[in-house]
Amino acid sequence: MRLRDLYETNTTVTPKRLKNTLPPTYTMPSLINSNGYPQYRHMLALGVALAVERGEVEMAANSMWNQQQTVICYTPEEEEILRLANKLMGVDSANEITGKKSIEPDWVNKVSVSSVKRHSMDSE
C-alpha cells in the first residue's frame, strides 16, 4: 500500500493493520493548521511541561508578544508606515506595549572584544 492510499482511504482513523505498528500517536483537533500560533505555543509547552509540573518554571498559555501581530518600529517614519498600513487594512488600533525609545541596560556589551583591521582591495 502506498502512503498516498493511506491518506485517501481514511484521513481520520488509522487503518487497523497499521495501528499496532505505530508508537502512541495523538492528534490535537483544536490546533488547526490555519492558525500557527496555538501550534507554536503547544510546541513550547511540550518543551517545558515537566519543568512547569515540578514548579521549576512558569508558562502562560498565551503570550502578549505573539497572541496578536507584533511590529517593532525603530524610527518615527516606521511608526508612520505602521499607522498607514493599519489604515489601509482597516486595523482599528495598535497597542503600544513598550516605550518610544529603546535603552540598553549597562550590562549589554556594546564594544567588540576583538579588534577588526580594515582591509581594502587596494592594499593587496
> How many Å apart are CA 103 and CA 108, to the nearest integer?
10
In order along its 124 residues, the chain shows pLDDT tens digits of 566 666 666 555 556 667 677 777 788 888 888 878 778 888 888 888 999 899 998 887 777 665 667 788 888 898 899 889 888 888 887 777 777 677 778 888 777 766 655 555 555 5
Residue 66: per-residue pLDDT: 59
Global pTM value: 0.42
Alpha carbon of residue 55 to chain centroid: 24
> How many Å apart are CA 79 and CA 107, to the nearest integer?
28
Residue 72: per-residue pLDDT: 82
Residue 55: per-residue pLDDT: 92
Residue 86: per-residue pLDDT: 87
Alpha helices in the chain (DSSP H): 3-9, 16-19, 36-53, 76-89
For cell 493511506, what's the residue? 6
- How is residue 19 written as a grid cell? 495501528
